[in-house]
Amino acid sequence: MNRSLEVLKAIYKPYRYTIKGKATVLETTSGDFIIKEKKKNMGELFNYLVHRQFDNFPSLIDESRKDVNVYEYIEGINLPIDQKCEDLILLLAALHNRTSYFKEVSLDKFKEIYENIENNIMYLENYFLIKYEMYFNEIYMSPSHYLFMRNYSKLEAALAFCKRELNDWFELVKNENKIRVSIVHNNLELDHFIKSDKDYFISWDNAKIDTPVLDFAHLYKKEYEKCNFEYVLQRYLNNFPLLEYEKKLLFILITLPEEIIITNNEFNDTKEMQRLFDYVFKTENLIRPYYASDEEKE
């Protein structure tokens, strides 16, 4: 990439360049450009998106080089977090609406999804049970261990919920021969949404065709602490209604907790443990209304 960067500097003659993460911004008298490592050919994807009336991505200026792509640089405006979350989710619903279609699949595909999630559930059950058994016999627990033991039943309940819902999901899909898919950005977070002259998604390198629920699940796991997801989820479902089996799959994916990073620094470990249970409680509150009876909703 360094060699291509020097060549591009000679071509565009920037008066300033700035390193932003893994990308480089060139500021020139003819416009600003961003250079990113090339992970895939983006032209085909962008052409398809335009064909589907979705052009909310930076213009691809040059993809002729084997190791880097050159894009138009978009300077965004600052937004309150809640407004940014709402605008992002509306753009996501538009992406899924404009690119979704039903794809024929075999029962083996559903079995594969079922088995992958089931294996993940069993792994997490064992992972958290080992911690429980390790901490159980401690006479004087550290704050992080005490926090874990006090809330362990919530992890058990979350994983039991995922098991039940996974079985229900499979009952819904086992007689289906088609599944709804769309272009999935597959790397959604607040920093990958820009508001400028219009709304943009950036960082499309992981994009693929798959079930649209992956995008919401990824966004939630990344940004659950920052956004009011009760409202965000409602806005998404109003603009891109999920089928019953899609909704179940989404709720399974976001309910699954993640492993915790133990550093042997008690302050950091306690923070990490608190984040784990904040996630579990927040997710339970998010999805509970969708399982309430009609009487409870009223």
Span 98-138, pLDDT tens digits: 999 999 999 999 999 999 999 999 999 999 999 999 999 89
Q: Over 80: is that where the pLDDT of 233 sits?
A: yes
For the chain, the domains span 2-73, 82-297
Task: Using DSSP, state whether 16 is helix, strand or coil.
Answer: strand
Question: pLDDT, tens digit, for every residue of 46-61?
Answer: 999 999 999 999 999 9
Question: pLDDT, tens digit, for every residue of 201-229?
Answer: 999 999 999 999 999 999 999 999 999 99
Q: Over 50: is that where the pLDDT of 271 sits?
A: yes
Note the pLDDT of residue 297: 46
Q: Is the pTM of this model over 0.85?
A: yes
Residue partners of 66: CB distance under 8 A and separation at least 6: 38
Note the pLDDT of residue 22: 82
Superfamily of the domain at 2-73: Phosphorylase Kinase; domain 1 (3.30.200.20)
Fold designation for 82-297: Aminoglycoside 3'-phosphotransferase; Chain: A, domain 2 (3.90.1200)
Q: Over 80: is that where the pLDDT of 148 sits?
A: yes
Overall average pLDDT of the 189-204 stretch = 95
Instruction: Give the pLDDT band (50/70/90) at residue 96.
Output: very high
CB neighbour class for 132 (10 Å; exposed up to 12, middle 13-18, buried from 19): middle
Task: Using DSSP, state whether 99 is helix, strand or coil.
Answer: helix
Q: Which two tokens stand for residue 98?
A: 């404009």
Mean pLDDT, the chain, rounded, equals 93
Note the pLDDT of residue 1: 59
Instruction: Give the pLDDT band (50/70/90) at residue 18.
Output: confident
Overall average pLDDT of the 282-298 stretch = 77
Note the pLDDT of residue 294: 44
What CA–CA distance (Å, rounded) separates 223 from 276? Answer: 14
Question: pLDDT, tens digit, for every residue of 152-162?
Answer: 999 999 999 99
Overall average pLDDT of the 253-273 stretch = 94
- Provide the percentage of residues in the chain whose pLDDT is more than 70: 97
Q: Over 70: is that where the pLDDT of 295 sits?
A: no
Instruction: Give the pLDDT band (50/70/90) at residue 72.
Output: very high
Please compute Rg for the chain using Cα positions: 22
| Contact predicate 164/286, CB 8 Å | no
Instruction: Give the pLDDT band (50/70/90) at residue 293.
Output: low
Instruction: Give the pLDDT band (50/70/90) at residue 287.
Output: very high
